[in-house]
Amino acid sequence: MRRAVYGMTTVLLGTLVLTTGCTSNKRHQRDIANLQAQIGALQGEVARLDQGLKESETALQAAPQRAGAPTQMSGAAGSTAGGPIYRTPSGFELPAVAIQRALKNAGYYQGAIDGKVGAGTKDALRNFQRDHGLTVDGVCGRQTWALLRGFLEGAGQALVS
């Protein structure tokens, strides 16, 4: 009888170990699949943001040439020969004159296009953001620029992203 109980205990213990390992393995595989899906989604978001950045850079490079200004993008840092660079806390950068020109063309900025992002430019950015359903912070980040860059060429000619 002891042998039978011992044998049954061994079988049950073995089954428990195998079942627990199998369940743990399935959970592990499911967790890996979830992580891979999240990585794929993040890679897609990075690719989308990279494409938007390339489109912004292309628009910025072309806009001063069409407007007859000597400003051109140069170097890896994105500096311009014709004015200061506006940088957000997240590292997004573009010429300050481009922001002012787009805001002026959109009807939000009344000051001189001097490349100085001061109180007037920030107020215009906040008004633009408010009217377009963006976070109202007075910072021309990627989302704000995605909508604002369409006004770089002229009043009311917004590009659809």
Residue closest to 86 by CA, chosen among 32, 125, 141, 7: 141
The whole-number pLDDT of residue 3 equals: 66
Per-residue pLDDT averaged across 119-138, rounded? 95
The whole-number pLDDT of residue 88 equals: 84
Per-residue pLDDT tens for 25-67?
A: 888 788 887 777 777 777 767 767 777 777 777 666 665 544 4
Q: Which residues contact 97 (CB under 8 A, 6 or more apart)?
A: 69, 71, 82, 83, 113, 114, 115
Q: What fold, for 2-151?
A: Muramoyl-pentapeptide Carboxypeptidase; domain 1 (1.10.101)
Pick 52 or 126 by higher pLDDT.
126
Measured CA to CA, the distance from residue 24 to residue 2 in angstroms comes to 32
Per-residue pLDDT averaged across 16-21, rounded? 59
Alpha carbons within 13 angstroms on the beta-carbon side of residue 135 total 7
The whole-number pLDDT of residue 78 equals: 40
Rounded (10°) CA dihedral 55, 60, 64, 70: -120
Mean pLDDT of the chain: 75
Residue closest to 75 by CA, chosen among 65, 85, 66, 67: 85
pTM for this entry: 0.48
Residue closest to 53 by CA, chosen among 14, 9, 105, 88: 88
Q: Are strands 85-87 and 93-95 parallel, antiparallel or unpaired?
A: antiparallel
The whole-number pLDDT of residue 22 equals: 59
Q: Show me where the domains of the chain are located.
A: 2-151
